């Protein structure tokens, strides 16, 4: 990659929370703040000692310092003092008119403009990004609501400048969210962005044409958000407790604090489960002793409690559609933003209002910042700079004992790459193995595609499982596959080269993947059967050898029992009845264990050739654990003598 | 080398066009090799850095997963704290209460082993970096002092995982 590009961060400067993200290696990353939070409360506080705190810490001390703790500053950005009479009443800090009639915050005898306060939040976001990236950050993309007017946008830009950031772009929050979901790659679509956050609800209708997003209409409710839901739950808990115990928890600040936490927790939990328990032991006490609170809250009850809040989203959505001059059927995409859209009922509502399955991410409260970071990445030219590495579309492997395909290189492995595995022979004295190179996802060799075949000859005669044949697969950057088989004993080698995936096109690859899914269950069964056959065959072979070599370490009775079990297993191996074979095999296993134990007591353990090894026409795996042998070590003790 | 020299000389003298072309080709290839080598080195460095970052992230994930688990366990400890507060003057079942106190201690010791510490708050000046103020109370003493902890705060390897919930003093008559 070329010389280092300067990073451009993306900031979602929110009413209640802010979030920062940046592109790293072509992927957007949400950056944690110094307290470990992925979002930062948009709160600034001026402390008595003259210092200033921002974020979670400022929020924590709000009750001790209400007149010096500034939150929801976004509501005053770029507004005149006479425009914000309503908003003014809702905050505990004083708002006055500045020299040009603009709304400013009064802290003791000083005044701060909203851009100055916002700059303090932006500075913290910038600092977090610098700590994460380990370099100075000078450039940013900042988001604003689609309904922000020029003066509000200018104020946001000013805030960036004060914070020492060169604001390259101010983009609309719904546009950023659409970018985060990759909708800019589509053509001529109409997108509804449904943003239900902590303190505000916004609906925006966008039209996308030639990669440019145009805002068709916006609507919303500036005082509707997740906090309202928490309050509903809190009130319900307190009312229920009063009904049961006759004590009003609303007068008890300490209990109220716990109720608030419990309400928020219950709300979050009910997004994934349908019922939760609110369990607050020792919530309060009266003359009769301590009182506990234990309540069950179901998802449907929560939905009933908050029905009126959710209903407040209806009108703005319908109005936005009307203003855009569109009907429900003309909306192509619905995008969900904001923490509250995790609630199933709200997802359902959005779906109903716009008639489309909405796009929803894992972290709806981060999508705006992610979109801003993507925009930053495009501006920095980082997105173009990626080197695309290819992957193998299908799994490659070879055929082993019983017609099973043993995987060597799994699909989706990034190339160039090289893998190898060691195999062995299936029969005593076998001098050649066939390497049957396969491509596909099915467990059985026959169901996959043959890429090529070759033989490795001249293996010195040896008992099965002893020769070591290394099979090496190598795919170069052009997708050409080289397969080599190497006899480790003689260094004899054979190889084959298969060019460019043998012309499988995309459709064929998809077809093969689908087939693998369709046949998954039956294939698994077939494979298990063959594995059982292999294990049984191996066990019979090993048992026979052990009996032969055991001499007088094992008494005749035991030997006879084992011999009988071997014959039984061999008989079933000829037949097709899986269940009978399994029974015979398990019996043989039992007898062999009994015999092994007898030998163990007197001498070093006998060889148990690995059960996976060997194949009629070729080779079997030699490495790997020995599933039907818990006790004996896989030592070639007797052969090596 | 000698062949090279001779060849070069010959080509210069005679202005052998084929040799000139080959020279150009070689220079071109050398440049290509150099570029590829740089690219390879960069890629290797990228991979190395990626591995380091992954190792670091894995370490953080282990720590974080502990944090999530510990945070989920803390309410159990809170409950026990509250239970003991409520049994303070209870003289019945004294031995059972003592036993339960020992169980609580076991739990605390186990948490401590994994790097958990409590935030020391009561009687200390209020510090929002470690404490969340839930209310203020008038007091004769100095202001901005923690009068009471309603819920303990915890650190994990010196990083705050849950602030202490506290009541903070204020001067009498202050609103």
- Chain B residue numbers with beta carbons less than 8 Å from the beta carbon of A286 are none
Cβ contacts of A348-351, under 8 Å, gap ≥ 24: A349/A310, A349/A313, A349/A314, A350/A192, A350/A194
Percent of chain A with pLDDT over 90: 48
pLDDT at A141 over 50: yes
Task: Name the residue in chain B with its Cα closest to that of A262.
Answer: B75
Average pLDDT over residues A533-548: 84
Neighbours of B120 (CB within 10 A): 13
Domain that holds residue B35: 3-63
Question: CA angle A604-A606-A612, nearest 5°?
Answer: 140
Average pLDDT over residues A38-48: 94
Q: Which pLDDT band, with edges at 50, 70 and 90, does A372 fall under?
A: very high
Phi–psi pair at A567, nearest 5 degrees: -60, -45
- Chain A residue numbers with beta carbons less than 8 Å from the beta carbon of B129 are 57
Q: How far is CA A295 from the centre of its chain?
A: 33
Residue A398 burial by Cβ neighbours in a 10 Å radius (0-12, 13-18, 19+):
buried
- Chain B residue numbers with beta carbons less than 8 Å from the beta carbon of A62 are 133
Contact check, Cβ <8 Å, B128/A61:
yes
Contact check, Cβ <8 Å, B128/A58:
yes
Instruction: Give the Å distances, CA to CA, from A613 to A34, A126, A309, A445, A464.
Output: 56, 60, 67, 17, 8
Q: In what order do the strands lie in the sheet with A417-425?
A: A493-498, A481-487, A469-475, A417-425, A619-621
User: How far is the alpha carbon of A55 from chain B, nearest alpha carbon, in Å?
Assistant: 11
pLDDT at A634: 31
Q: Is A182 on the interface with B (CB under 8 A)?
A: no
Average pLDDT over residues A589-599: 81
**Whole-complex ipTM:** 0.72
Contact check, Cβ <8 Å, A64/B136:
yes
Which of A281, A294, A387 to probe the B interface (max B CBs under 10 A)?
Answer: A281
Contact check, Cβ <8 Å, A64/B159:
no
Within this chain, do residues B125 and B148 fall inside the same structural domain, yes or no? yes
Residue ranges of A 27-66 with Cβ closer than 8 A to chain B: 35-36, 45, 48, 53, 57-58, 60-64
Q: Which pLDDT band, with edges at 50, 70 and 90, does A640 fall under?
A: very low
Which of A29, A57, A69, A292 to probe the B interface (max B CBs under 10 A)?
Answer: A57
Within this chain, do residues B42 and B72 fall inside the same structural domain, yes or no? no
Within this chain, do residues B106 and B135 fall inside the same structural domain, yes or no? no
> How many CA within 13 A on the CB side of residue A415?
23
Contact check, Cβ <8 Å, A61/B165:
no
Within this chain, do residues B87 and B52 fall inside the same structural domain, yes or no? no
DSSP assigned state of A390: P
Contact check, Cβ <8 Å, B85/A282:
yes
pLDDT at A603: 55
The answer to whether residue A286 is catalytic is: no
Contact check, Cβ <8 Å, B150/A58:
no
Within this chain, do residues B124 and B171 fall inside the same structural domain, yes or no? yes
- Which of B25, B42, B63 delimits the end of a domain? B63
Contact check, Cβ <8 Å, A290/B170:
no
Query: What sections of A575-615 are H helices per DSSP?
Result: 578-602
pLDDT at A403: 86
pLDDT at A505: 60
The C-alpha atoms of residue A38 and residue A42 are separated, in whole angstroms, by 13
User: How far is the alpha carbon of B26 from chain A, nearest alpha carbon, in Å?
Assistant: 24
Question: CA angle A87-A88-A89, nearest 5°?
Answer: 90
Q: Which pLDDT band, with edges at 50, 70 and 90, does A125 fall under?
A: very high
Domain containing residue B175: CATH number = 2.30.22.10
Among A102, A158, A184, A195, the active-site one is A195
User: How far is the alpha carbon of B50 from chain A, nearest alpha carbon, in Å?
Assistant: 10
- Chain A residue numbers with beta carbons less than 8 Å from the beta carbon of B71 are none
- The residues that bridge with A337 in the sheet, in sequence order, are A195
pTM of full prediction above 0.95: no
> How does pLDDT run across B21-75, given as a tens digit for each residue?
999 999 999 999 998 888 888 788 778 877 887 888 888 788 778 888 999 999 9
Within this chain, do residues B80 and B126 fall inside the same structural domain, yes or no? no
pLDDT at A629: 36
Within this chain, do residues B135 and B155 fall inside the same structural domain, yes or no? yes
DSSP assigned state of A242: H
> How does pLDDT run across A481-497, given as a tens digit for each residue?
889 999 988 888 888 88
Enter the tokens of residue A66: 């209400």
End-to-end CA distance of chain A: 58
- A77-93 burial: b if 16+ Cβ within 10 Å, else e: bbbebeebeebbeebeb
Within this chain, do residues B55 and B72 fall inside the same structural domain, yes or no? no
Closest CB to A64 among B46, B126, B159: B126
Nearest alpha carbon to residue A40 among A27, A53, A23, A22: A53
The C-alpha atoms of residue A347 and residue A358 are separated, in whole angstroms, by 7
The C-alpha atoms of residue A326 and residue A190 are separated, in whole angstroms, by 9
Contact check, Cβ <8 Å, B132/A36:
no
- Which of B114, B130, B146 delimits the end of a domain? B114
Instruction: Give the Å distances, CA to CA, from A601 to A392, A598, B13.
Output: 52, 5, 89
Within this chain, do residues B97 and B121 fall inside the same structural domain, yes or no? no
Residue ranges of B 98-157 with Cβ closer than 8 A to chain A: 126, 128-129, 131-136, 144, 150-151
Q: Which pLDDT band, with edges at 50, 70 and 90, does A5 fall under?
A: low
> How does pLDDT run across A391-417, given as a tens digit for each residue?
777 889 999 888 889 999 988 777 788
Enter the tokens of residue A334: 């619905």
> How does pLDDT run across A200-232, given as a tens digit for each residue?
999 999 998 777 888 899 999 989 999 999 999
* Better-predicted residue by pLDDT, A137 or B11: A137
User: How far is the alpha carbon of B2 from chain A, nearest alpha carbon, in Å?
Assistant: 37
Neighbours of B11 (CB within 10 A): 16
One DSSP character per residue, A530-586 reads HHHHHHHHHHHHHHHHHHHHHGGGS-HHHHHHHHHHHHHHHHHHHS--HHHHHHHHH
Mean pLDDT, all residues of chain A: 85
Phi–psi pair at A291, nearest 5 degrees: -120, 140
Contact check, Cβ <8 Å, A64/B144:
yes
- Chain A residue numbers with beta carbons less than 8 Å from the beta carbon of B86 are 282, 285, 289-290
How many domains is chain B built from?
3
The answer to whether residue A12 is catalytic is: yes
pLDDT at A633: 31
End-to-end CA distance of chain B: 95
């Amino acid at each position: 990659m070329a010389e280092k590009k300067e990073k451009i961060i993306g900031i979602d400067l929110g009413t209640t929370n802010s979030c920062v993200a940046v592109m790293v290696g072509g992927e957007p990353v949400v950056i944690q703040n110094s307290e470990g939070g992925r979002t930062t409360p948009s709160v600034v506080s001026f402390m008595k000692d003259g210092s200033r705190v921002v974020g979670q810490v400022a929020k924590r001390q709000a009750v001790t310092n209400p007149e010096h703790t500034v939150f929801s500053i976004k509501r005053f950005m770029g507004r005149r003092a006479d425009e914000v009479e309503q908003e003014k009443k809702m905050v505990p800090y004083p708002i006055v008119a500045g020299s040009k009639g603009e709304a400013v915050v009064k802290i003791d005898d000083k005044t701060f403009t909203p851009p100055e306060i916002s700059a303090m939040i932006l500075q913290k976001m910038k600092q977090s990004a610098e700590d994460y990236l380990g370099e100075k950050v000078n450039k940013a993309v900042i988001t604003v609501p689609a309904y922000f007017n020029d003066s509000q946008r200018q104020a946001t830009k000013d805030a960036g400048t004060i914070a020492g950031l060169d604001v390259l772009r101010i983009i609309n929050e719904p546009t950023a969210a659409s970018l985060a979901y990759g909708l800019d790659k589509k053509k001529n679509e109409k997108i509804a962005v449904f943003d239900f956050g902590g303190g505000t609800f916004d609906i925006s209708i966008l039209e996308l044409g030639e990669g440019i997003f145009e805002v068709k209409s916006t609507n919303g409710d500036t005082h509707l958000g997740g906090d309202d839901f928490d309050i509903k739950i809190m009130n319900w808990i307190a009312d229920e407790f009063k009904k049961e115990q006759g004590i009003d928890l609303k007068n008890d600040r300490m209990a109220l604090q716990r109720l608030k936490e419990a309400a928020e927790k219950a709300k979050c939990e009910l997004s994934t489960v349908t019922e939760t328990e609110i369990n607050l032991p020792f919530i309060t006490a009266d003359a009769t002793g301590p009182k506990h609170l234990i309540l069950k809250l179901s998802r449907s009850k929560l939905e009933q409690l908050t029905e009126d809040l959710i209903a407040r989203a209806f009108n703005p959505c319908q109005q936005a559609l009307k203003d855009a001059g569109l009907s429900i059927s003309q909306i192509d995409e619905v995008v969900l933003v904001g923490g509250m859209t995790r609630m199933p009922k709200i997802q359902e509502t959005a779906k109903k209002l716009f008639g489309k399955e909405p796009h929803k991410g894992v972290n709806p409260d981060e999508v705006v910042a992610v979109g801003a970071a993507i925009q930053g990445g495009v501006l920095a030219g980082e997105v173009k700079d990626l080197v695309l590495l290819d992957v193998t579309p299908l799994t490659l492997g070879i055929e082993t004992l019983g017609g099973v395909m043993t995987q060597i290189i799994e699909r989706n492995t990034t190339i160039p790459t090289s893998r190898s595995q060691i195999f062995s022979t299936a029969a005593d004295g076998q001098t050649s193995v066939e390497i049957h190179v396969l491509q596909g996802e099915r467990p059985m060799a026959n169901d996959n595609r043959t890429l090529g075949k070759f033989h490795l000859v001249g293996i010195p005669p040896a008992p099965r499982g002893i020769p070591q044949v290394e099979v090496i697969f190598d795919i170069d950057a052009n997708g050409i596959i080289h397969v080599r088989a190497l006899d480790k004993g003689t260094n004899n080698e054979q190889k084959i080269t298969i060019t460019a995936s043998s012309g499988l096109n995309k459709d064929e690859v998809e077809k093969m993947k689908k087939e693998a899914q369709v046949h998954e269950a039956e294939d698994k069964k077939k494979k298990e059967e063959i594995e059982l056959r292999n294990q049984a065959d191996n066990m019979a072979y090993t048992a026979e050898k052990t009996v032969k070599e055991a001499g007088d370490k094992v008494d005749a009775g035991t030997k006879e029992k084992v011999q009988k079990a071997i014959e039984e297993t061999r008989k079933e191996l000829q037949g097709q009845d899986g269940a009978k074979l399994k029974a015979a095999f398990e019996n043989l296993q039992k007898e062999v264990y009994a015999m092994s134990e007898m030998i163990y007591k007197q001498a070093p353990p006998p060889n148990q050739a690995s059960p996976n090894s060997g194949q009629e026409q070729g080779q079997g795996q030699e490495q790997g654990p020995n599933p039907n042998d818990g006790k004996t070590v896989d030592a070639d003790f007797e052969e090596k003598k | 080398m000698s062949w090279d020299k001779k060849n070069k000389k010959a080509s210069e003298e005679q202005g052998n066009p084929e040799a000139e072309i080959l020279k150009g080709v070689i220079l071109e290839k050398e440049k290509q090799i150099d570029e590829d080598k740089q690219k390879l080195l960069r890629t290797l460095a990228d991979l190395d850095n990626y591995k380091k970052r992954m190792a670091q992230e894995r370490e953080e994930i282990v720590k974080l997963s502990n944090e999530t688990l510990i945070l989920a366990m803390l309410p159990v400890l809170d409950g026990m704290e509250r239970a003991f507060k409520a049994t303070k003057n209870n003289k019945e079942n004294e031995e059972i209460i003592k036993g339960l106190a020992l169980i609580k201690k076991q739990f605390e010791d186990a948490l401590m082993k994994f790097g958990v510490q409590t935030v020391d708050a009561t009687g200390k000046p209020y510090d929002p970096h470690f404490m969340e103020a839930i209310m203020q109370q008038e007091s004769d003493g100095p202001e901005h002092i923690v009068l009471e902890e309603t819920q303990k705060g915890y650190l994990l390897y010196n990083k705050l995982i849950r602030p202490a919930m506290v009541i903070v003093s204020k001067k009498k008559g202050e609103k």
